[in-house]
Amino acid sequence: MLAAVVNGFGGPERLELAEVPVPRPAAGQVRIRVVAAGLNPVDAGVRAGIFGGAGQRLGLGWDVAGQIDETGPEVTGWSRGDRVVGLHHGTVKPLGTHAEYAVLDATAVAAAPTAADDLAAASLPLAGLTAARAVEQLGLAPGASVLVTGAAGVVGGMAVQLATRAGLVVTALAGPGDEELVRSLGAAAFVPRGGAPAGPVDGVLDAAVLGGAALAPVRDGGVYVGLIPHHAPAAERGIRVEEQEVAADGELLAHLVSLVEEGALTLRVADVFPLAEVAKAHDRLATPGVRGRIILTA
């Protein structure tokens, strides 16, 4: 099968389409025939060598939507032909989901939403799980105020929706042209990039990775949740600083799928590329102002 890999770090020119053996599922795993896979900033980070792995062939891709092709021993509840979404966790791995087939733990997948096609469904796992875990880590009660930075991005946009659903009053920080978008996702207030909320907020969900700058609008004793491990700012003024680290979680993913089915969680696709044009997709990912997930089709 064909898979997108890197054998050396650098820009999109380092991407290769390699012919590799079709993987087989071990006990507790399923093999998915990939229909669509999301391209995330973490994939560009792997390609650039941010996460290490020098001297190894590294596979790319975390998000996947497709059909189960084979189940390994000890797998129950899934059958060949089931349409699923899943998260293939890991920055340093020989194969990811940017391939014709992917093997995931059965506990990492959920039934795909019937309300969305595979292209849209492939945008859900990483962004949705990240946003959901971050909103939970805020630990704020209904009625509390939260600032979501990067609110027009895929993760930030889902965080706006999930926080609003949890009863939080959301102020969205995004580009000056994004007000209509973030308000449509549920934001009660809007602040253009570089601005500040009218008053202190109880917490901030820092999807834009602003770091220390995002602490300024948080009240004393509030909470900050960052999305990248080991990148959180130092705590100050009694602010609780948390770091969210995403994990594969089929049960939580199934809950997010149910929200998609209800129309309570929006899936946004910015562009679609065939796997053969993976380098072009990485170029597109680097373009400022992408509003939605870039999808690769196998």
The pLDDT > 70 percentage for the chain reads: 100
pLDDT surpasses 90 at 177:
yes
Mean pLDDT value of segment 217-227: 97
Tell me the pLDDT tens digit for each residue of 24-60.
999 999 999 999 999 999 999 999 999 999 989 999 9
| N-to-C CA span, the chain | 10
Mean pLDDT value of segment 82-93: 97
Distance CA 122, CA 137 (A): 24
Tell me the one-letter amino acid at 33. Answer: R
Interhelix angle 154-165/125-138, rounded to 10 degrees, is: 50
Plot region of 61 (φ>0 → left; ψ -120 to 50 → alpha; else → beta):
left
pLDDT surpasses 90 at 143:
yes
Q: What's 165's DSSP letter?
A: H
Q: Provide the pLDDT for residue 187.
A: 98
Q: Provide the pLDDT for residue 160.
A: 98
pLDDT band for position 138 (cuts 50, 70, 90): very high
Tell me the pLDDT tens digit for each residue of 151-169.
999 999 999 999 999 999 9
Mean pLDDT value of segment 73-99: 97
- 71 neighbors 25 (Cβ within 8 angstroms): yes
- Superfamily per CATH, domain 2-124+267-297: Medium-chain alcohol dehydrogenases, catalytic domain (3.90.180.10)
Distance CA 50, CA 170 (A): 32
Smallest CA-to-CA distance from 270 within 291, 287, 288 is with 291
- 204 neighbors 171 (Cβ within 8 angstroms): no
pLDDT band for position 69 (cuts 50, 70, 90): very high
Smallest CA-to-CA distance from 269 within 36, 67, 26, 2 is with 36
The pLDDT > 90 percentage for the chain reads: 94
Q: Provide the pLDDT for residue 231.
A: 85
Distance CA 255, CA 235 (A): 32
pLDDT surpasses 90 at 113:
yes
Residue 117, CB half-sphere, CA atoms under 13 Å: how many? 8
Spans of all domains in the chain = 2-124+267-297, 127-243
Shared fold status for 2-124+267-297 and 127-243 = no
As given in the structure block, the two tokens for residue 112 are 């795909």
Smallest CA-to-CA distance from 64 within 102, 111, 17, 16 is with 102
Q: What is the pTM of this model?
A: 0.96
Tell me the one-letter amino acid at 268. Answer: R
Please provide the CATH number assigned to the domain covering 127-243: 3.40.50.720
Q: Provide the pLDDT for residue 126.
A: 98
Tell me the pLDDT tens digit for each residue of 195-207.
888 889 999 999 9
Q: Provide the pLDDT for residue 196.
A: 83
